[in-house]
Structure 1
Amino acid sequence: MTTLFISDLHLDAERPAITELFGKFVEGEARGADALYILGDLFEAWVGDDDPSEVGAFVADRLAALDRAGTPSYFIRGNRDFLLGEAYGQRARMRILPDPAVIVLEGAPAVLMHGDTLCTDDKAYQAFRTQTRDPKWQAQFLAQPLANRIAFAKQARAASQAHQSGLKRDGLMEAITDVSQATVDATMARFGIPRLIHGHTHRPKVHDEAHGTRIVLGDWYEQGSVLRVDREGAKLSALV
């Protein structure tokens, strides 16, 4: 049996082909797997569980059917869908995990994260993250009309793109938006677990670290990046 890991799908109405690819993956390979773990940024944006988007409905229906077929799904919130709540989780029959989370994988522990907390050199993003993870901020935001929240999400996306454009212009994009090696080392040392799996950076690779192995999942902008773990080991590859 195999355990599957994906992240950074960024599903959105503007990219229907990727949503379709996700549906085929869930209805195909994911059925019969031990479990499916989604390590954040399943959606391009999430402004509350009351959002009636067709993409959200599609994903919930497919994941609920996957659970009924015997494969549970687990979710860690990302930087794009950190407001995804228990109501949607129940609708999708998807278990929401804390970030970070520790699981037992083929008899050995592994640490799962979205990965954004490892990118500590990006000071502007970390400040934004601290603000938006505050429960009071979230309560005030979710109390606003849906249209206001959607408008905020669009503004936040534009601000993020402008921030990244500035980093590219200054030649800092690769360094600032990747993980901090010191933070990776400290995180793995703190847990004392020699396997860390995360997404966020869109740089799929298996790294040999000082404290073990770090596996970075890829995004789904052009292809479906999947990590498959079974008794034979771990294999990171693309669907297409």
Structure 2
Amino acid sequence: MTTLFISDLHLTPSAPEITECFIRFMREEAPSADALYVLGDLFEFWIGDDDRSEFAQQIRQEFKTLTDSGVPCFFTQGNRDFLVGKKFAKQTGVQLLGDETVIDIYGTKAVVLHGDTLCTQDVKYLEYRQKVHMPWLQWIFNRIPFFIKEKIVAKVQTDIKEDKHTKSLDIMDVTQSEVESVMTKHQVNLMIHGHTHRPNVHSINSQDGDKTRIVLGDWYTQGSVLVYAKEGFELQTRPFQSQ
């Protein structure tokens, strides 16, 4: 048996090839797993749990079918879907996790997170993150008519794209000292995260011993899955059907 980890799918109706790959994964692979962890940015942008579009309903149904079959599914909010809330969890059966969560994978303790909070050099983004995570601001946003929220999000997405063009890749990557700090805080030797779109397995030599950081890949040109079994783990890719 295996535990599966995915992140950074950035699902959107305008990229049907990604959605098709995700649905195939949910129907053909996920049902035989011990558990599925979604570590943020499942959506290109989740406007709110009141999204009644056909696309949103389709994604909800895939999770509901999986959890109804008995496979536990855990969800960590990313920087694109931080508005996924209790209503989505109730409708789908997924369990929402905090920003940092310690889990047990076949006897190994690991901390799982989206990864954006590790990028401490990206000061401007962290300031933005702090604002949008304010409970009172989310409370107000969730009560705005959906069509107005769509306009606000469209403006935010444009600003994000423009901001990315002016940043170096190093600024948007994790800070090593923060990685080690989080692992030490939770007393673990394994970290799994996404966000940076740089899939890799990093070995860390620290005073506390050898540690491992696994970075999940994005789904822009192919599916990306961390398959973790008792015998070991592997970062794998899944081709889009058109490829």
TM-score normalised by structure 1 residue count: 0.96
For 2:235 and 2:119, the matched residues in 1 are separated by 22
- Give the Å deviation of 1:152: 1.2
Question: Residue 184 of structure 1: which of 163, 179, 184 is its match?
Answer: 179
Aligned equivalent of 1:226 = 225
Q: Distance in 1 between matches of 2:205 and 2:159?
A: 36
Give the superposition deviation at 1:70: 2.1
CA distance in 2, matches of 1:120, 1:152: 26
Establish whether residue 18 from structure 1 lines up as the match of residue 6 from structure 2: no
Contact 1:79–1:116 (CA<8 Å) still a contact in 2? yes
SS in 2 for 1:175: coil
C-alpha displacement of 1:47: 1.4
Which amino acid is the alignment partner of residue 184 of structure 1? V
- Mapped contact 1:207–1:215 kept (Cα < 8 A): yes
Distance 1:103 1:56 in 2: 28
State the partner residue of 1:84: 84
SS at match of 2:131: helix
Q: How does 1:28-43 map to 2 (within 5 A)?
A: 28-43=28-43
User: 2:201 aligned with 1:202, yes or no?
Assistant: no
The reply to whether residue 236 of structure 1 matches residue 224 of structure 2 is no
- Which amino acid letter does the alignment assign opposite residue 8 of structure 2? D
Amino acid paired to 1:217: L
- Once superposed, which parts of structure 1, at least 4 consecutive aligned residues long, lie more than 3 Å away? none
Match of 1:60 in 2: 60
Output the amino acid matched with 1:177. Answer: M
Fraction of identical pairs, as percent? 43
Contact 1:228 1:235 in 2 (8 A): yes
What's the counterpart of residue 72 of structure 1? 72
Look up the SS of the partner of 1:208 in the other structure: strand
Please, which moves more after superposition, 175-184 or 1-10?
A: 175-184
Query: Would you say the 8 A contact 1:185–1:210 is kept in 2?
Result: no
8 A Cα contact 2:8 2:194, kept in partner: yes
Deviations 1:101-133 (A, max 9, x none): 111101121100000000110111000000000
Residues 42-78 of structure 1 show CA distances to partners (whole Å, capped at 9, x for unaligned) of 1111111101122221111111111122211110000
**Do the aligned partners of 2:51 and 2:146 also contact (CA within 8 Å) in 1?**
yes
8 A Cα contact 2:102 2:186, kept in partner: no
Residue 143 of structure 2 corresponds to 143
What runs of 5+ residues in structure 2 fail to find an aligned partner? none
The alignment partner of 2:25 has SS state of: helix
Q: Is the 8 A contact 2:217 2:224 kept in 1?
A: yes
- Gap runs ≥5 in structure 1: none
In the alignment, which residue of structure 2 is the partner of 1:96?
96
